[in-house]
Amino acid sequence: MTGFEAHHTILIVLQVFTFSLLSVLVYFAYQRKQARRHEFSKQFLEKLSSEEFVALLESSAGRRSVERVLGTYKSAEEWTTEAIRRSVVLIFGGLGSVAVYLLEEFSGHQAFLAVGSISIAGALGYLVAAALTRGRARREDSETAL
């Protein structure tokens, strides 16, 4: 390995490390925000009297709010949005891996092609699941409207 190749390899490793570190920081910031929101909702529910809590549970919107606080409810729209977001991330990650494989200096590393293909296939699976979930939710909504 020449000095230039070693330098190039070190730069790639540093870029991957920097991206990973930033991803972890964003993830922890998001988790902290979600924990604060959950704690606020939990404190709000604790301050309700038993009569107010029963009245809240009698409405469908109130039931969904309590389920969200307990972490048991996720609407079809929320799940679909998350699935599409994950799909986009997986597609770009897969395309990036395939692009690295296509570079001349990495063309012998089949692992990049394998990781890219698996990521893209997973993304397509998420998109199909999101489409099916969205279609089922629309059918259920139209049936309940009748």
pTM of the model: 0.49
Tell me: the pLDDT tens digits for 35-64? Answer: 887 788 778 777 878 888 788 778 877 777
CA R_g for the chain: 23
Domain ranges (residues) in the chain: 1-73, 74-146
Tens of pLDDT, residue by residue over 70-80, are: 666 667 777 78
CA separation, residue 55 to residues 5, 48, 51 (Å):
69, 10, 6
- Residue identified by tokens 């230039």 is 4
Ramachandran sector of residue 75 (left: φ over 0; alpha: ψ -120 to 50; beta: rest): beta
Please answer whether residues 85 and 123 qualify as being in contact, where contact means their C-beta atoms are separated by less than 8 angstroms. Answer: no
